[in-house]
Structure 1
Amino acid sequence: MTAQAGASKISVAVTHRDTYVAAGIAALLRSRADFAVQMGETDASAADVLVTDYATGLHGATATVRSRRSTASSSLIVTDQNAGLQIRRAVDAGIRGYVLQDCTADELSEAVRCVAVGRRYLSDSVAEQLLDSLTFVVPTGRELEVLHLIARGLNNKDIGRHLGIGEGTVKSHVKAILGKLGEPTRTAALREARRRGLLTEERPPMSSAGPRASMRSQRDGLL
């Protein structure tokens, strides 16, 4: 299928942060007769499709829209970020297209055409990860804080001190985290959290007065 067949070319702005990836995307799309491709952010908002990286695409989608047209509805993310939660967040934010960097030229072209006419396009592997993520029970904000601190090597006592909560409360959060991730130990839970994309998000800042727990080993216990 070719969108806008017989009509004017589809204008595409490539603003990917990785300059090598951006150059490759531009070269592939320029080899197709129905695309007019520009690189950089100059007049990118006027393009039919904005091809960008994950961070830029998500930032643009969640930022306050100052124009009449939302860039999220015309954005195609090309990335190596394939964790279910990351994909889910992008789709929830309104991103129309999402493909991985190892996609073929034909798939990239088809994705651009779909987004240009207002349709969604997810590559097969991305769609599979998205569907898988819908079965996940996402930890609460506090549980995510605890999870990130576990990943930094803090034990229950130090996590409680850092967050200003009791050690018993920390144990309850850890138990809930293990249950939601479906794993019996902290090590296994951290591995599953990384697979789902939970530990790729921005982490809570460490307090300068916090414990020097990063030097402590983390026991692979239940709590």
Structure 2
Amino acid sequence: MNALPPRRIKAAVSYPLPLIKAGVIHTLSRDGGIDVGDWDDDGGREADVLITDAETALSLAAGFARGHSGNGGNGGNSGNSGNGGHWGHPGRPRAKLVVIAHAGRESEVRAALEAGIQGYLLSRCSPDELVSCVRALSAGARYLSDGAMRCVADSLAHEKLTPRELTVLERMAEGLGNKAIANRLEIGMGTVKSHVVAILDKLGASNRTQAVTLATARGLLPPPAGPSLSGPSVPAG
């Protein structure tokens, strides 16, 4: 008896940047075992694997956690056309999610994994790595790029900041001293100082400026929009 041919993998792509979207579709279409389509078309809704951006993936994953499908996070392109935003075709398992991100920041990778997203790639990944990721997810495995894996490893080596410590850190990044932070958050100066000590200890920083720099590198803070924070010192009080 002749063996049945292996089942072809169905992949779909939804991405807010047309150039990346076209490149992903082109790369996967060259693989003999993968059928790839546009998620925004009806055909893409039967996909085994959906390749998308972080915002859309987190929205879909959150919708699944609530017991229904979410809407896309890129202005509605991935969630509001065709079948009304369904994550997968009725009667089929929901597609496995792959994020393609521009930078592998610790907080973003952790958020994706905690949301149940199965694949995480950086936009500089090779075509072969993209294909390997889709094949791995189709087989039921997870796939993280080397950069994403390093982020996860680094995060395990650090103690997480509490929500209040993150808030104080954000005010530090704005250049506020302890008194200004205390006034802004309506807490005592002693409490602010305790939070600052804990932040420096958890980040392994020797001063406030270094703490902000390290936190930005780890993705705990957004990149500065203006001049680098490594210039003028962040005031201490």
Which range, TM-score by smaller chain? Answer: 0.7 to 0.9
Q: Which moved more, 1:21-30 or 1:86-95?
A: 86-95
Q: Per-residue deviation at 1:143?
A: 0.6
Structure 2: distance between partners of 1:218 and 1:167: 23
Quote the offset at 1:45 in angstroms.
4.6
CA–CA separation in structure 2 for the residues paired with 1:99 and 1:156: 39
Within 5 Å, which residues of 2 pair with 1:96-175?
A: 96-175=118-197
Give the conservation status (yes or no) of the 8 Å contact 1:78–1:100: yes
Between the aligned partners of 1:7 and 1:148, the Cα distance in structure 2 is 52
Letter aligned with residue 52 of structure 2: T
Structure 1: which amino acid aligns with 2:28? Answer: L
Q: Could you tell me which runs of 5 or more consecutive residues in structure 2 were left unpaired when the two chains were aligned.
A: 70-90, 224-230
Matched, 1:55 2:55: yes
Looking at structure 2, the residues matched to 76 and 135 of structure 1 have their Cα atoms a distance apart, in angstroms, of: 25
- List aligned pairs for 1:39-118, cutoff 5 A: 39-43=38-42, 44-63=44-63, 64-66=66-68, 71=94, 74-118=96-140
Kindly indicate whether the alpha-carbon contact (under 8 Å) linking 2:159 and 2:202 is maintained by their aligned counterparts in 1: yes
Contact 2:177/2:234 (<8 A) preserved: no
* Alignment partner, residue 209 of structure 1: none
What is the distance in 1 between the residues matched to 2:153 and 2:67? 28
Return the alpha-carbon distance in structure 2 between the equivalents of residues 46 and 159 of structure 1: 51
**Is the CA contact 2:178–2:236 (under 8 Å) kept in the aligned structure 1?**
no
Q: For 1:47 and 1:142, how far apart are their aligned partners in 2?
A: 41
Distance 1:70 1:129, change over 3 A: farther
Q: Taking structure 2 as the reference length, what is the TM-score of the superposition?
A: 0.77
Note the aligned Cα RMSD (angstroms): 2.4
Q: Is the 8 A contact 1:88 1:130 kept in 2?
A: yes
Partner of 1:15: 14
Q: Write out per-residue CA displacement over residues 173-219 of structure 1, whole angstroms, 9 at most, x where no aligned residue.
A: 11111111010111100111011110139xxxxxxxxxxxxxxx974
Q: CA deviation at 1:59?
A: 2.3
**Is the contact made by 1:154 and 1:218 (CA closer than 8 Å) also made in structure 2?**
no
Tell me how far apart the structure 2 counterparts of residues 75 and 121 of structure 1 sit (CA, whole Å).
Answer: 10
Percent identity between matched residues is 38
State the one-letter code of the partner of 1:51: I
| Partner residue in 1 for 2:222 | 200
CA contact (8 A) 1:54 1:81 kept: no
Structure 1 residues 21 and 65, CA gap change in structure 2 (3 angstroms): farther
Contiguous gaps of at least 5 residues in structure 1: 202-216
For 2:93 and 2:53, the matched residues in 1 are separated by 17
CA–CA distance in 2 between the matches of 1:28 and 1:190?
Answer: 39
Distance 2:169 2:232 in 1: 13
**Residue 75 of structure 2 corresponds to which residue in structure 1?**
none
- Is this contact kept in 2: 1:29–1:37, CA < 8 A? yes
Runs of 4+ aligned structure 1 residues displaced above 6 Å come to none
Would the alpha carbon gap of residues 155 and 45 (structure 1) be closer, same or farther in structure 2, given more than 3 Å must change?
farther
Deviations 1:18-56 (A, max 9, x none): 221111111111111212111243445531001011222
